[in-house]
Amino acid sequence: MGIDLNRLKEVHLLKSNGATWESLGGEPVKSFYHRNKHYLRNIESELEIVDKKSPDVHWREYLDHATATQELRKKASCNQSGLTINKSGFSDLDFICLGDLHFFASGTDHRAIVELTDRILSHDNLYLVLLGDELETAINMRNVAEVTSQLMPPAIQLKVFESWLNEVKDRVLFATWDNHSSERFEKGAGVDMLGWIKSKSVPFFDSIGNATIKVGSQEYFLAATHKLRGKSSINPMAGHARYMRFDDPTREIVIAGDSHVCGSGWWYDGGIKRMGVNCGTMNVNSPYAKRYFSLYAQPVFPVVTLYGKEHNFTAVESLKEWEMYRGL
């Protein structure tokens, strides 16, 4: 139980003005005063400083404010982590997995990017998913040669990407974040400039993204991201399988890039057919990759088919193989 500070203050003032202990109530008041007089330091300063600022914090008010700010930020964002695509009028859905194009890296095959883009656009029913690292964006000063070897400054890279995206955007099902642009822009400036451009035109996953895709009478559950954790030195699908086993068993297909190690494959896990797809790269002569990883890089971008009549899916290695399989 707390002491009566007002009473202590009153006794102190009366005693200071010459009152006797008898007149104040005798021994009990004297005892009360001496037991608690150490509180008078506070009381004295209170008496002398009349406008001391004290905090007026009510935790509910601040948490309500934080929630309101989060809601405003969400309203302003075009980024998402879930997406539903309705192609129920389609008999099948075919899309090419494009990632790690690395426009303007010194080792990129830019002619191949032009040829692949033209070939994609020549097929009316072929869609795209973009898995990041479309630009080189060497803006980290971890290595001077890396920065100086890129073929265009980052501002021009962004404009060129925007021009490329304008041509293909009607075919893009979704695009993901990446480490070359998203993370570097966020690190340097707090804003993902490439993600900003993507998110204005197409659905943009700034994290792992879940896509539910309806094709014909079927519904498919995909996850896509630039980079997965969990690596194996001999299995490019290790991260994909790990993700579907441990993080989200509801996913049937996981698509990623980043490693530049292409591959695709299907298997059964928990009685459900699963498939993993990983992109190759157009940066086929990367000095960094050639020094630290391999002399070989594959410009391989698998094409996924989701069937509309029965629940099944597959992936072929390349656009060329897809054209053969479709008889085009």
List of residues contacting Fe ion (CB under 5 A)? 100, 133, 179, 258
Residue 109 C-beta: closest distance to Fe ion, Å? 14
Q: Which residues pair with 277 in a beta bridge?
A: 255, 264
State in angstroms the smallest separation of the CB of 184 from Fe ion: 10
Sequence-distant (6+) residues with CB within 8 A of 219 are 212, 213
DSSP class of 180? I
| Torsion angles phi and psi, residue 267, rounded to 5 | -160, 170
The SS3 call for residue 103 is strand
Query: From the CB of 113, what's the least distance to Fe ion, in Å?
Result: 14
- What is the smallest separation between the CB atom of 105 and Fe ion, expressed in angstroms? 9
Q: Which of 160, 226, 232 is nearest to 197 (CA)?
A: 160
Instruction: Answer for the pair 85, 222: CB distance below 8 angstroms, yes or no.
Output: no
Cβ closer to Fe ion: 243 or 313?
243
Q: At its nearest, how many Å lie between Fe ion and the CB of residue 276?
A: 17
Whether 3 contacts 36, CB under 8 Å: yes
Nearer to Fe ion, 21 or 288 (CB): 288
Report, in Å, the least distance between residue 103 CB and Fe ion: 11
For Fe ion, the closer CB: 93 or 194: 194
> Which letter does DSSP use for residue 100 in this model?
-
Sequence-distant (6+) residues with CB within 8 A of 41 are none
Of 186 and 323, which CB lies nearer to Fe ion in the complex structure? 186
Q: How far is the CB of 222 from Fe ion (least distance, A)?
A: 20
Q: What is the C-alpha separation between 16 and 18, in angstroms, rounded?
A: 5
Using alpha carbons, list the distances in angstroms from residue 82 to 88, 93, 131: 18, 19, 15
**Of 100 and 252, which has the nearer Cβ to Fe ion?**
100
Nearest distance, CB of residue 260 and Fe ion, angstroms: 6
Residue count of the chain: 328
User: Distance between CA atoms of 153 and 228, rounded to whole angstroms?
Assistant: 29
CB nearer to Fe ion: give 133 or 206.
133
Q: Measured from the CB atom, is 216 or 299 closer to Fe ion?
A: 299
Of 134 and 252, CB closest to Fe ion: 134
Least gap, CB of 258 to Fe ion (angstroms): 4
Residue with Cβ nearer Fe ion (38 or 291) = 291
Using alpha carbons, select from 240, 249, 247, 239 the residue that is nearest to residue 271. 249
Question: What's the alpha-carbon Rg for the chain, to the nearest Å?
Answer: 33
Structure tokens given for 239: 């991260």
The closest alpha carbon to 221, from 125, 322, 309, 306, belongs to: 306
Residue nearest Fe ion, CB atom distance: 133
Q: Which amino acid is at 160?
A: V
